[in-house]
Structure 1
Amino acid sequence: MNKYTYRILAATVVMALSLGVGAEAKGSVTRTTTDPSITEKALAAQMNQVSKDKTVNFNNMLIQKNLADSLGNVVAPEASNLDIDLRGAVTTAIKNNRDITIADLQRKEAEAAVSQAAAAKNPSVSYSWTGNQFKTRVVSATTGAMNNRSYSQGVNVSFPIWTGGNVEGQINEARYNKNIADVNYYMTEADTKLSAVKAYYTWLEDIKLAEVQDQSVSDYASHLNNVQQQFDAGIVAKLDVLTSNVSLANAKQSSIAAHNARDVAEANLNNIMRIPMNTKLNPLDKDFPEPDFDITMDQAILMAQKYRWELIKADYNVRIANEQLRVARSGYMPTFSVGGGYNWDSAAISKIDKDDWALKGTASWNIWDGGATQAKIKSAKEAIKVAQEDLLKARETVELEVRQDYLNILAYKEQIRATEAAVAEAEEAYKIATVRYQSGVGINLDVLDAELQLNTARTNYITALYNYNIGLATLEHAMGIPAVIHPEFAKAGK
């Protein structure tokens, strides 16, 4: 190479490097207003669309007189009965939930991804066979014979020795993704448990509320009978009969709504358990439990900070970000591999030439890639900061959630005692108002108001018990307590 050629080559390299350094991309200025041209294009595109004529069905099938005839021989599935308690409802829901099944399949998918990433460290074997047909005869380079066909075959093995941390980083990233898939599986079980608990207690609450409304209807009916008797005897005015009748009608309306809410809650619970929705459920729990609550707020927060699923996932995301930085840095590292193989010119595999083998070692080092590696490293470092911020944000969110759930439970506990006392007082007030009216010293409005207050007190008491039990389940979920104890939990604790 003469001096002139060398100078040209050197100048070209320097220019390429200088252009590469100056080509570092920077983001354009972010707009803080909408772009009218984009909106105009979107409107123009919409105007150019051709809408097909659609015939809208205005025939309400529900009011057709012969609807049953149009359905043919469709028969509804026979309803079954099932005795159920909270434990049975949760167990059935976790056993049958499709989201849990999907999460389990995603675990297996993530595990296969780990094997796929690890395969990059294993040796690879390749075989090739090539045949060529020429228009004219050619001279074989090995035998000297003339032929219009040529063949070549080869079996080659390549084994990576060092990839600068690229493969190792990808393997670790795949492993952490597998860990996240496991956590998603456990979290889905916990979510399903909470949904089942809420559905079961909602159903039980609606059962109890329907009973309260039925009792209210019975009380109003009994009072109306008493008012009617006194009116027939000329003791009270017609107004008392009318107002009592209206109160009874309103109570019946509330009872109808309560029974409907109970049936809807039953169907919802059946749906969560994934059993036929027309299954008639029989509750084994006749009343709400009131379990003791013996844990401090600090203990609940500490447990959540250690076991909450979202925090575990956020921790793994930080690790993944660090592995991605390792992969990015591998762009600066050389790579080494060894290999070997056999190659021969023949159409038949049996004609392998045992002497035509080769061993080779390969070293590769990308000295300059135009700044791509540098940009990847910068992006990976920022991604680590984002993952760390997400982790800290998640910890703060979890602590707030636990505090709210804990304080709500304390409030619900006090509400139980307050509403329990209110029920006893309202029952006594209703008895007094009824006796006073029957004795002719009270007025009808006192009885109706006392019955309304009693209905409200009973409803508030049931709601307080419901809120307390739901609050316990919600706090348990917020603390990251697993719904199913898997064998791997014991291994992880060692």
Structure 2
Amino acid sequence: MNGFNGKLKLVLLAAAASVAAFAAEPLTIEEAVRIAKANAYEVLAAQADSRRARAVVSEAKGSLLPTVTVDGQYTRFAAESTVVINSKEPPIVIRPIDQKSVALNLSQRVDIFGVAGLAISGARALFLASEAIVASAVNDAALRAKSGFLDVLRAEELVGVADERIANVQEELRVARLKNQEGAAAKFDVIRFEAELATAEQERLQAANTLDLAKAAFNEVLARDISTPVELVKPGPVPAVARPLADLTELALQQRPDIVAAARRLDYQNRYRRARQKDGLPALNLSGGITYNPDAGGLGGMQSDASATAVLSFPLFDGGTRRARVSQARADEDRARILLAQQSRAVEKEVKQAYLNVESARQQIETAEKGLELARETLRIARIRYEAGVGTPLELSDANVVLVRARTALVDSTYGYRDAIANLQRAVGIEEIFV
């Protein structure tokens, strides 16, 4: 038994190790987006709503099909009913003590004026709207996955910036101590760089905490345990957006899922209003049935019987209910039309804002690269001046701070550009915005 338990523990440990290795496998941004699309709670909820909408379409189609029922009935009375016509003959049973019957009934609604057809097409419009909402949820999940992915990479690079600052300050401290031992620098210089090193180490700790939080948020976006190890593959360079703003705006108005959903809801409201306008028209219902009574007896008793009925109903007066329903449906249709126009204008604005943000972010990268080049040269000169005894610790410290700011600005602008691209893709509703 102990041997079996030992083997079981080894198997469990091996399985846990394989799971951990799989969880720590480096992710590309495309893989992260795929996982988010499959696991995002909003997507799963939207898919459930879509399945329900599909079932509503099936329910609406069922209204055009016949309804068939089978009824079985058994009745036992306290006594049979008889009647005596001739005293010389046995009494005639007019109701047996037991009665059994089976009935097959069929009813069919005839859609004379297409009301049921409007109900079916309206339900289908709502289903297509729900499918568009699923696509919108998928787009939102993709954006969150990209943003979370880029936030982790940004945080990792900022940890690298903090490490570089620590290395720079450690070098300045080493030089200051050496100069102090040689009598070429005051003890104050050493104390100043020691304080600056402590500050740099504290900032490095804060950067590491920010990285841990970014990884937890990224795991949450992927709908997995927030403590799952995160290893990411840095994406390649992002191509420039080649399509003009007018083309991207037109694409968004044609393909953006929330625009499609709003248009489908307007289509539904239009069909619903037309159906309500036909509520006052005549309605035709057909029905038929076959009844089998094995215990038929008595006067006029029949073992089987069949019947057919056609009912044509003409609504005469409903107290104004139909007119009120038509007014409500027309108001709902007008509201859906207004919301579609409002959504279209909002999408146009969103695409334009995202497009301008991409252009601005691209220019910020160029500015940050020049700023970093200047900051590195400034630090190099400040070091030479300090080592030569003509510079001050304050000048060197300021140069280090400027370098940190320049590196941070380049990291922020680089990932800000990628964020802007992701937001533009979401605003347009498609990934292919580069050609």
In which range does the TM-score fall when normalised by the shorter chain?
Answer: 0.7 to 0.9
Is residue 84–residue 283 contact of structure 1 (8 Å, CA) maintained in 2? yes
Aligned to 1:30: none
Q: Given the alignment of the two structures, is residue 88 of structure 1 paired with residue 36 of structure 2, yes or no?
A: no
Distance 2:292 2:238 in 1: 83
Contact between 1:288 and 1:466, CA under 8 Å: does it hold in 2? no
Which of the numbers 166, 182, 187 marks the counterpart of 2:131?
Answer: 182
Task: Give the alignment partner of residue 422 of structure 1, picking from 363, 366, 371.
Answer: 371
Contact 2:37–2:141 under 8 Å retained in 1: yes
Residues 482 and 455 of structure 1, relative CA distance in 2, 3 Å threshold: closer
Q: Give, in angstroms, the shift of residue 353 of structure 1.
A: 5.6
Q: Which residue of 1 aligns with 2:271?
A: 323
Which residue in the other structure is 2:256 paired with? 308
**Aligned mates of 1:85, 1:344 — CA distance in 2:** 71
- Whether contact under 8 Å (2:292, 2:304) holds in the other structure is no
**Paired amino acid for 2:199:** N
Quickly say closer, same or farther: Cα 1:182–1:354, change in 2 above 3 A.
Answer: farther
The separation in 2 between residues aligned to 1:211 and 1:347, in whole angstroms, is: 95
| TM-score, scaled relative to structure 1 | 0.76
Seen in structure 2, the aligned counterparts of structure 1 residues 229 and 125 have a Cα distance that, compared at 3 Å, is same
Q: Secondary structure at the match of 1:324?
A: helix
**Percent of aligned pairs with the same amino acid:** 25
Counterpart CA distance in 2 for 1:181 and 1:146 is 59
Structure 1 residues 353 and 117: CA distance shift in structure 2, 3 A: farther
1:419 to 1:288, Cα distance in 2 relative to 1, 3 A: farther
3-state DSSP class of the match of 1:145?
A: strand
Which runs of no fewer than 5 residues in structure 1 stay unpaired?
1-74, 484-494
SS in structure 2 at match of 1:343: strand
Aligned residue-pair number: 402
Give the match for residue 121 of structure 2.
172
Paired residue secondary structure (1:440): coil
Of residues 286, 292, 298, the one that matches 1:338 is 286
SS at structure 2 position matched to 1:331: coil
Change (3 A) 1:354 1:315: farther
* Secondary structure of the corresponding residue to residue 123 of structure 2: helix
**Distance apart, 1:384 and its partner CA:** 0.6
| One-letter code aligned to 2:260 | I
Q: Does residue 125 of the first structure (1) align with residue 125 of the second (2)?
A: no
- Helix, strand or coil at the partner of 1:83: coil
Identify which of 307, 312, 315 aligns with 1:358.
307
Distance 1:455 1:155, change over 3 A: same
SS in 1 for 2:241: coil
Q: Distance between the aligned counterparts of 2:40 and 2:338, measured in 1?
A: 33
Counterparts of residues 192-203 of structure 1 (less than 5 Å): 192-203=141-152
Are the structure 2 counterparts of residues 186 and 347 from structure 1 closer, same or farther at C-alpha, using a change threshold of 3 Å?
A: farther
Deviation at 1:275, TM superposition (A): 4.7
Residue 299, structure 1, aligned to residue 240, structure 2: no
Distance (Å, rounded) in 1 between the aligned partners of 2:263 and 2:241: 30
Give the deviation of 1:391 after TM superposition: 0.3
Taking structure 2 as the reference length, what is the TM-score of the superposition? 0.86
Partner residue of 1:31?
Answer: none
What one-letter code is carried by the residue in structure 2 that aligns with 1:82? E
Closer, same or farther: CA 290–355 of 1 in aligned 2, 3 Å: closer
For 2:220, give the aligned amino acid.
N
For structure 2, list consecutive stretches of 5 or more residues without a partner in the other structure. Answer: 1-12, 84-91
Mapped partners of 2:112, 2:71: distance in 1? 26
Whole-angstrom CA distance in 1 between matches of 2:71 and 2:304: 18
CA distance in 1, matches of 2:82, 2:278: 47
| 1:189 Cα deviation from its structure 2 partner | 1.9
Q: Secondary structure at the match of 1:223?
A: helix
2:410 is paired with a residue whose SS is helix
